[in-house]
Amino acid sequence: MLKLGVNIDHVATLREARYRGMSHGEPDPVEAAFIAEEAGATGITAHLREDRRHIVDRDIRRLRDSIRTPLNLEMAIVPEIIEIALAVKPYIVCLVPEKRTEVTTEGGLDVIGGETLIRDTCTRMRDAGIRVSLFIDPDPRQVEASARTGAEFIELHTGAYAEAFDQKRERNVEIERLVAASKLAHGFGLHVNAGHGLNVRNLPLIHVVPHLIELNIGHSIISRAVFVGLPTAIREILAAMEGYKG
């Protein structure tokens, strides 16, 4: 069964729009995590960014102490966040690129350019009992580099596919890239997740990508929840995931 990790970052985005810098506020992303679990999520994803634009430190601690499903901590490879991860010990960390000026994560991690640092970070996490995933573009060179780092998972960046969805030729090129990258990663012994820009409309075509274990989806769920509620939004995504054969 294909698993669903619900990213709750944008529940915190809404909270920070009114309560930034305060020790309280609504909506509570931890409460959203509880609702997501009840609705069928098999994991919770949260990105602790350097600028704390949405998720903040106390959210990560509370999530680790209270949710029943695995916590996937998205993070950049910076000393402060690494130390927080080692202290909190989430089930898994997903190493991502991060720029202060971006609205959201714009692309995959450059594993080739940062291989030594990434390998060292993977070692530190593994020694602490924390699994590691690398968020990468579906590029065979990045897959090959990922296999050398000691990471257990990759998460394929589906953003280019999502952006090209309404252009059939470009969409098919992106799907082919995702299929090839997943096959290559599986051959190296890596576990494969995917995410970014996925929604009810574009998700069914992802079923052609083999070897997927989990999809991590946030923005489309939270934006849909504004109109239909969080449980319904999650169940719509789960329905679109049904029938995946791997």
- For residue 186, indicate whether it is catalytic: no
What is the enclosing helix (H) or strand (E) of 37? helix 29-39
Catalytic residue among 74, 174, 214, 236: 74
47 φ, ψ (degrees, to nearest 5): -110, 110
Three-state DSSP at 112 gives coil
Pairing of strands 43-47, 191-195: unpaired
Distance CA 37, CA 57 (A): 21
Is 47 catalytic? The answer is yes
Annotated catalytic residue 157: no
Q: Which residues pair with 191 in a beta bridge?
A: 153
In the numeric block, the tokens 């699994």 are attached to: 131
- Pick the catalytic residue from 47, 98, 155, 214: 47
Active-site entry in 10, 54, 157, 196: 196
What's the CA gap between 84 and 99, in Å, rounded? 19
Determine the Cα–Cα distance for residues 214 and 45; give it in Å rounded to an integer: 11
Residues taking part in catalysis: 47, 74, 196
